[in-house]
Amino acid sequence: MTDQRGFYEGSEENRSTAINYSNQIPIAGYESLTELADTEQCQHRAFVFEAQELMALVQRVSTYQSATTKDDNIEFMATRITFILEQYQEQSNLLDKYLGDIVSMIITPLLNHVHDSFNKKKLSTTQKVDDHWIGLCYKILYTCTKVRGAKTIVKLFPHQVQDLLPVTLLLENRLKDFYSQEKETIVDDESSKTTYRIQWEEIYIISLWLSLLIIIPFKFSSVDGKNPEDDQDSLSNRIIRLCKMALGHSSKIRDSVAELLSKLLTRPDMNNQLVQYLQWCTSTIDGIRSQVATSEQNLYNIGISTTLSLLFKRADRKLLQLDDHLYQQIIQSIKDSSIERVNQKLYTKLLQRMALFILPQTNNASWRYQRVIKRLLQNNQHSLSSDQQEGEHQLPPESSAKIEEIIEILMSDGLGNKDTTVRWTSAKAMGRIIGLLDQEMGEQVIGFIFTCFEGEPDPFAWHGGCLALAELCRRGLILPDNIGNLVEKVNKALFLDVLKGSYSVGSYVRDAACYVAWALARTYQPSVLEPFSSQLASNLLVVSMFDREINCRKSASAAFQELVGRLGGMTIPHGIDIVQIVDYQAVGNRKHSYLEIAPIIAKFAPYYEAIVNHLVTSKIGHWDIEIRQLTSKALKELTTINPSFCISHLPFIIQQTKSDELNIKHGYILSLSQILFGVSKLLNNNNLKSDILMILSDRKYEKIFKGKGGMYIRLSLCKLIYVICILNLELETHNSSTSQSSTASLSLKEKILLLKSKKTGSSTVPQPLSATPSSSSNSYLTVLTFLEENIQHPLEEIQKEAAISTRIFLTNYMSTLEKEQQLGLLVKKYCDLLKNDLNRSTRRGASLFIGNLPEQYYLDHEILDIVIYPLYDEKLKDIETRVNSLNSLKRLFTIYYDRSRMTLQLFDKIFRSLMDATEDYCVDRRGDIGSWSRELSCQILNDLVLLDLKNGGGQSPNITKSSFSQYFCKLLQLAGEKLDKIRETCCLLIVQLVNNQQLESYIDNASELKDIFNAIPPKPTIMNWSRSDMAFPRLCKVLNYGSYRYPLLLGLFSSIGGSSRSLAEDVITNIQEIDRNLLLGTSFELLGNSIDRTKIPNFKSVSFLFNSQLFDQIQNNETNEKIFFKVKESIIDCNDIILLFSVVPLISYFTKDIFNSKIKTESIGLLLGLLSNKFPRVRKFASQEMIYRFGSNKLATDLLSKTEWDQEINLETLDLLYKHFGIENKKVGIVVSKKQDTKSIDQSNSSPVVLNIDNQLPEDSEDLMEI
């Protein structure tokens, strides 16, 4: 129905067609459809939006058979009905008002058809049409049962006695035909397409219908006149044979015939047939168990088990006797490990029904806890209970043994089963069985259930135990004396999380524990739960905020809400206020729960400690890294509420950072760094400070860094170092063991050099700059060495985190006079690395290091040359290094302005470097990586301009109008290009600039641009510059102003000549209003100034503009001729296949009659010359263009179309074409390739056949800029 759903939702025509049926048809029981809609009472319960359409369609389908004119849309109408009904599957009760009429209208003509067939009357139409219509009707009825339930719908079926025999005969015929057609092989020919095939929905509905009819209060012998014991063709025997035949079907037919059999065999007059059927079931199960069961036998077994379950549910105890052999078969089957889970579930349910069958129904657990007791019975409660207990029946020894055996199997094989459905069935079975036991035995069984939670946690057993306890709570079978033990188990289960490799199990246990808590709140009085309510509510609240799984958070939220509602706001502290915050929907977002809800709830004092304790003990070291990160952020927020309590956890957290488990080590280091932010002013314990610094000296890090999760530890340590530097802890006062090997402070690269020197026997050992004699503290050395190693790490995330820590470390610890020499050596080292090191990661790290120096080092103007060096480095192009350098450049000129050190010379150098960065169009396998540099440089240029204007004061700014115009034109050019992200950034910058009053004198046509970019869109709140259909209408208006026409059109040509057709169409649509002569002149100027990067998009764009008939009115313009000869010049000796493909449509355009004969003749000559090009695909493309242009020229078209131009060149055809067009090959003199051999192509000198143009694009082609 997925495709049908999309079709009907999207097709207004079909929808209106279906509604039009409602205007033509009266509805039974209503004078009009308006009355039908007006009579809807209680709209929130009985509102069906499509009621009018639905009833009209049902009426039309039901009258199809009797209509004089047959409607061809019958199948469409039936499908539409099923689609409407399925929309209400989640709230099917809304359909109740209409279901009676729907079922009645559909079933009535079917009933008439059944009686006609039974009476063998001649039908008015052919059987094929009848069958097709009947099948659609049954499919509608099946949809009703699927949406609303079979028990509800079957009650609406007709159930007269005279209907029994016709429906039975119908089922018999249809079922036989159904099985016979499954065995046949339908040949796919014209006759088979019209053959109707009986669908399983038809058998399903007929079986349900018959299950209603067979409960008539008359003997079957009075209906068919045959004795079922003597005549095998009696009505009951026929039905039993039909049901046995269908029990093994894989569809829902199996369920309907099981229902039919159970109702038939539980009739009072079917005692003998019931016994025979049980014997047949026993023998059939024996036959299946005696061999390896096939898939068909397994299906048969499912049908038999379903029928037996229904029989033991409905049968009268006086008529049905429990067969010991059948009982043993079920016991053995359920213990079989190879049995399928569906069978295991059904056997579990059957065992439950057998137990309930054995137990006397008078035992209704008089000892159970009852929440509400009627006042009239309060005085007599004790005596009444005593009388009931005295009247309880004692089970015979055999029955008692069977009950114990069943309970043992349900406990061992049911509650601990690996399949959830089996555990759930067993839990419900335990609840029902214990409800019929005496108090002593019931409490013993409950005690056995509690043992599921002992020993090593078994998630399956815990889940089954929780489900069983919830069922017992709902029935009040757990007495108040056991509530304390129960709550203890629930509190453990709420936090069960067993790690299994890279994942954990236990979410279903936590969900079931919430179900137990919910059942407790609903069943027991507040006085019973009050001693345990505080702890239970606190745990539920913690789970609702911090559980990893959304279903557990929502379940806990619902249980907490029930607890507050039942026990009252006084019993649960702040319960009413919290319920409004920890909403069922609010906890759906994990991040919102951790960072928004948790800090609010933590402000309620009774829950703060429980929240923090849970995070510290359970969530910091969680196996999921996202949970660890969210926990650390949540602890940062919680620390500000009660810092002293969080400080008390620091010793435990510091101790856990020494763990060998990666998850625990990473989580606790990360959380420690976040907690230290909030307790910085209260951290006065020197021992704690010393312990924090000792974390950095762990020798295990070197091994951890080489492992799979080493990057997480590096990131967390970088964050910890950042906090240590923020707190300004005294690294040099940390007296750790100074006898450690000097290699402990060496970086990875220096360690490799050290090992090489030892192998070669060299006496010179490389000494790191960070290990100079002036550095006497190991913590200081450790931090500096660690930051140096990580700032050169290959992973960008680690480099950036190390750079953040490096800035604060250099500022706080290396800005003193004592460290000036060492810092100078470091700066020199990284300047050399930036210029000379071939390792890209090292160069990126060096650029980051230089960009995070203390401010005084930037006052040396030589640093500026180092910073901008990567922007001009042609030897080692690396985009990450250039981006880092741009960010460093931004910090550098900000310091210049803050220290009043900016000069005109420095400004020009910085401005020119940034402008050059906007020309970065580097491409690699990731796409247009140069766009990162272009976008960032535009943003930094904007900051530079605004900062220069702001710091100019009374003096004239360094920015000139000429420089600003270059920048503004560059923004317009990039805004016109095809990358959406660049367009959005540049347009937002333009809007900011045109609205700056200080820049009005710098911008030509400032007021007009302001009006263009500030214009209110049709919907003001949805202006999105990244959308071409919204941005280009405004940008194209700027083409009217000469100052901006050239750069903007250059950018727009990038969009027109790109690979996106929709982008090109958006530009062409909005460029129509521009003066054509100006546009043509600028286009020629762009062609003349084309560089390698812009040549192909420029030619593509001009070709696109000409072929879109934009310049058809400009016929004799000199620019046309100039453009043509520019095209002619570009393809001579051209080996660029993409360029040739771009200019072929443009050359073809110049063959039109609107041009003079000279241009037209030479254009034809160029096309003929391309027919002898060395690229086969170019020849083929040129021939296709000529066929398109000269379609009316029959001779030329025949010659072109009959020749395969991507094969060897046909010289005779080529000569004929030259003669036909009156062109002499020698006189024209246009040879596309001077080395071309006209007879054959030299395969050694020619390029291979291009199968895919996109694969032949050069690496820096603009067509690869789309990421």
Whether 81 is in a domain gets the answer yes
Question: What CA–CA distance (Å, rounded) separates 340 from 343?
Answer: 5
CA distances from 426 to 350, 472, 514, 1246 (A): 11, 12, 19, 78
Whether 471 is in a domain gets the answer no
Which position has the higher pLDDT, 793 or 1121? 793
The partner residues of 945 in beta bridges, in order of sequence, read none
Question: What CA–CA distance (Å, rounded) separates 594 from 56?
Answer: 52
The pLDDT of residue 468 is above 70 = yes
- Residue 496's pLDDT band, with cuts at 50, 70 and 90, is very high
The pLDDT of residue 22 is above 80 = no
* Per-residue pLDDT tens over the stretch 479-494: 999 999 999 999 999 9
The pLDDT of residue 42 is above 70 = no
Q: Is 794 helix (H, G, I), strand (E, B) or coil?
A: coil
- Residue 68's pLDDT band, with cuts at 50, 70 and 90, is low
Q: What whole-number percentage of the chain has pLDDT above 90?
A: 36
Whether 897 is in a domain gets the answer no
Whether 1191 is in a domain gets the answer yes
* 220 in Cβ contact with 234 (< 8 Å): yes
* 464 in Cβ contact with 423 (< 8 Å): yes
The pLDDT of residue 82 is above 70 = yes
Question: What CA–CA distance (Å, rounded) separates 425 from 464?
Answer: 9
Q: Among 853, 874, 891, which residue terminates a domain? A: 853
What does the DSSP assignment read for 626-683? HHHHHHHHHHHHHHTT-HHHHHTTHHHHHHHTT-SSHHHHHHHHHHHHHHHHHTGGG-
* Per-residue pLDDT tens over the stretch 652-688: 999 999 988 899 999 999 999 999 987 876 777 778 8
* Per-residue pLDDT tens over the stretch 1151-1201: 887 777 788 888 888 888 888 888 888 888 888 888 888 877 888 888 888
**Structure confidence at residue 969 (pLDDT):** 94
HEC letters along 256-279: HHHHHHHHHHCCCCCHHHHHHHHH
Question: What CA–CA distance (Å, rounded) separates 815 from 957?
Answer: 33
Question: What are the tokens at 287?
Answer: 């036959």
What is the H or E stretch that residue 997 is in? none
**Structure confidence at residue 1119 (pLDDT):** 78
Q: Give pairs for 32-39: CB < 8 Å, separation 24+.
A: none
* 803 in Cβ contact with 849 (< 8 Å): yes
What's phi and psi for 500, nearest 5 deg?
Answer: -125, 85
Q: Which domain holds residue 65?
A: 1-158
Sequence-distant (≥ 6) Cβ neighbours of residue 1192 within 8 angstroms: none
> What's the rounded mean pLDDT across residues 538-542?
96
Which position has the higher pLDDT, 1117 or 866? 866
> What's the rounded mean pLDDT across residues 632-641?
94
* Start-to-end C-alpha separation, the chain: 36
* Per-residue pLDDT tens over the stretch 6-17: 323 333 334 343
Q: Is 723 helix (H, G, I), strand (E, B) or coil?
A: helix
* 259 in Cβ contact with 243 (< 8 Å): no
Question: What CA–CA distance (Å, rounded) separates 945 from 273?
Answer: 98
**Structure confidence at residue 230 (pLDDT):** 66
Q: Among 831, 853, 875, which residue terminates a domain? A: 853
* Per-residue pLDDT tens over the stretch 691-741: 888 888 887 887 888 877 889 999 999 999 999 998 888 876 444 333 333
Whether 18 is in a domain gets the answer yes
Question: Between the ranges 69-73, 860-864, 1021-1025, 1033-1037, where is the mean pLDDT highest?
Answer: 1033-1037
Q: Among 827, 853, 879, which residue terminates a domain? A: 853
Question: What CA–CA distance (Å, rounded) separates 832 from 848?
Answer: 14
- State the total domains in the chain: 3
* Per-residue pLDDT tens over the stretch 758-812: 554 444 444 444 443 333 346 888 899 999 999 999 999 999 999 999 999 998 8
**Structure confidence at residue 1021 (pLDDT):** 61
* 959 in Cβ contact with 948 (< 8 Å): yes
HEC letters along 412-480: HHHCCCCCHHHHHHHHHHHHHHHCCCCHHHHHHHHHHHHHHHCCCCCHHHHHHHHHHHHHHHHCCCCCH
Chain-centre distance for alpha carbon 302: 37
**Structure confidence at residue 205 (pLDDT):** 93
Whether 142 is in a domain gets the answer yes
Determine the length of the chain: 1267
> What's the rounded mean pLDDT across residues 29-41?
39
Amino acid identity of residue 531, one-letter, is: P
Whether 144 is in a domain gets the answer yes
> Residue 126: left if φ>0, alpha if ψ -120 to 50, beta else—which one?
beta
CA distances from 1076 to 114, 190, 757, 969 (A): 78, 60, 74, 22
Whether 818 is in a domain gets the answer yes
**Structure confidence at residue 486 (pLDDT):** 94
